[in-house]
Amino acid sequence: MKRIGKFRAVGIAALTLAILAAAVASQALGGSKDTPASAKGLGPLTGLLPRDHLTEESAIQVDLSKETVRLPLYKGEANGQTVWYVLLDASDQGIAHDLGVNYAPKLSNLAIGNPEAVQTVTIDSPSPAQNKFGQALVHFQGAPDFSPTRIADPGPTGFPLAKFQPGAVAGPGYSPFIRIAGSPTVYSAPIVATGDGPFDVVQHTNTGDRVLGIHIAGPQAPGQYQDSWVDLLFVKGFDAGQPIIYISTDAGQPLTSVLERSTYVPALDKAAYNGGDDFLGSARERLFGFVNGQTGADNKESQGFVHLVKDGHASEDASAGNTALIDALRNGGDLLNVFGDFPTLSDPRHAQAYSPLWDAQLGLWTDKAVKQGLNKRQIDEVQVFNLAAARPDLITGINPATGQPAPYGATGVDINCAVIGFTDKAPTANLASPVANSQFPPR
């Protein structure tokens, strides 16, 4: 078993959204009587995702049956320890295209006012004898500690959790966002495993909580290159009305990292900046989550925190052998968040406003919405904005300190989630036009 670290719920509640009980407990958690499977609208659930559905072009494969994305795995070093990382996004368009990762120009703003959010790394300069063909070793300043036990004990209504603890915590100097000394380009390069193996992909004592498999390539044959790779449990969501998949690797708050099965990285908490999105100097893009949406494994309207805890096996370790968990998530048991800008959107302004660092706008359905069954699944950013602007009788924001309703907007939650692709049709345009005063121009 993994050791139990110091990050208990009682010790970190002030830093998170733990105190939501008053808001949720006062409401009946509405569930639909409809019988269609919750998988409706999520695209195919089995087989391999076609490569023309990927935004993360370097992905080796996406297995919809196993809920995993297989990514190239790269070797690094941190404080004398071997580490293993993936490459997901880059702030330079040419470099992103060359590496087959998402182009995210907003990452160039990441360290504004918070230099710890970007880790400066160095790379070796190997001789021809040392490296005929392949990567140079990256030297990180810090790495995550994967040894704590992830705890996600459900509360009386599922969420809020009764007890929680991150399963991975950043060590000194660590951020998943890196800049190579001498270069202005910022990359998302989260470390997902440490050590030289064997790798624990069941209880995750030396791997991230979404790591379900690791393969380290052997000696390379002359003139050939073989990938090392990692299988990561992906996440389902929506953008512009279309089902998408992404991976969650890091978060700036303890509770968020528990729910996301990601690494708690305190340096990200103040990354530029809460509520910014398309404003000057922001590194973030908006994400829309819902505290008390409907629940039920066979409910096509289920969505949100309570749903994840009650229907998504959130308290269990994720592993390839935990087929009950895999099947629950495959059939819609995820948070099913709604994303803002996405790389495939037709308008380049929106496509290039994508960032893997998401600024969560959390919605709290009112008693009226819950009682009338109007707390339905949302799938489009503009529709959510319109709802928040025009129907405060149905949805509000939430005050993280009290769990009570608050003006809708940023809640101080940020998550590093690189998009992988779409499962059905590419998101190209939002499903609605903004209502008056719902967004800041330009639209």
pLDDT digits (tens, 9 = 90+) for 218-274: 988 888 889 999 999 999 999 999 999 999 999 999 999 999 999 999 999 999 999
User: Which pLDDT tens digits describe the chain residue by residue (443 residues)?
Assistant: 454 454 444 344 444 444 344 344 433 333 333 333 345 699 999 999 999 999 999 999 999 999 999 999 999 999 999 999 999 999 999 999 999 999 999 999 999 999 999 999 999 999 998 888 889 999 999 999 999 999 999 999 899 999 999 999 999 999 999 999 999 999 999 999 999 999 999 999 999 999 999 999 998 888 888 999 999 999 999 999 999 999 999 999 999 999 999 999 999 999 999 999 999 999 999 999 999 999 999 899 999 999 999 999 999 999 999 999 999 999 999 999 999 999 999 999 999 999 999 999 999 999 999 999 999 999 999 999 999 999 999 999 998 777 789 999 999 999 999 999 999 999 999 999 999 988 887 76
Distance, in Å, from the CA atom of 378 to the CA atom of 387, rounded to the nearest integer, reads 10
The predicted structure's pLDDT at residue 220: 84
- Peptide bond just before 348 cis, omega within 30 deg: no
The predicted structure's pLDDT at residue 27: 39
For the chain, the three-class secondary structure string (H helix, E strand, C coil) is: CCCCCCCCHHHHHHHCCCCCHHHHHCCCCCCCCCCCCCCCCCCCCCCECCHHHECCCCCCEEECCCCEEEEECEEEEECCEEEEECCCEECCHHHHHHHCCEECHHHHHCCCCCHHHCEEEEECCCCCCCCCCCCCCEEECCCEECCCCCEEEEECCEEEEEEEECCCEECCCCCCEEEECCCCCCEECCEEEECCCCCCCCCCCCECCCEEEEECCCCCCCCCCCCCEEEEECEEEEECCEEEEEEEEEECCHHHHHHHCCEECHHHCCCCCCCCCCCCCCCCEEEEEECCCECCCCCCCECCHHHHHHHCCCCCCCCCCCHHHHHHHHHHHCCCEEECCCCCCCCHHHHCCCCCEEEEEEEEECHHHHHCCCCCCCCCHHHHHHHHHHCCCCEEEECCCCCCEECCCEEEEEEEEEEEEECCCCCCCCCCCCCCCCCCCCC
The predicted structure's pLDDT at residue 40: 67
Tens digits of per-residue pLDDT, 30-59?
333 333 334 569 999 999 999 999 999 999
Distance, in Å, from the CA atom of 139 to the CA atom of 137, rounded to the nearest integer, reads 7
Q: What is the CA radius of gyration of the chain?
A: 21
CB 212 within 8 A of CB 205: no
* pTM flag (> 0.75): yes
Distance, in Å, from the CA atom of 293 to the CA atom of 336, rounded to the nearest integer, reads 10
Distance, in Å, from the CA atom of 285 to the CA atom of 157, rounded to the nearest integer, reads 31
CB 167 within 8 A of CB 117: no
Distance, in Å, from the CA atom of 319 to the CA atom of 261, rounded to the nearest integer, reads 12
> CB atoms < 10 A from the CB of 326, how many?
21
14, 19, 160 from 25: Cα distances, Å: 19, 11, 9
The predicted structure's pLDDT at residue 2: 52
List all residues 6 or more positions away from 307 whose beta carbon is below 8 Å from its beta carbon: 293, 294, 295, 296, 333, 335, 336
Distance, in Å, from the CA atom of 120 to the CA atom of 82, rounded to the nearest integer, reads 17
CB 47 within 8 A of CB 411: no
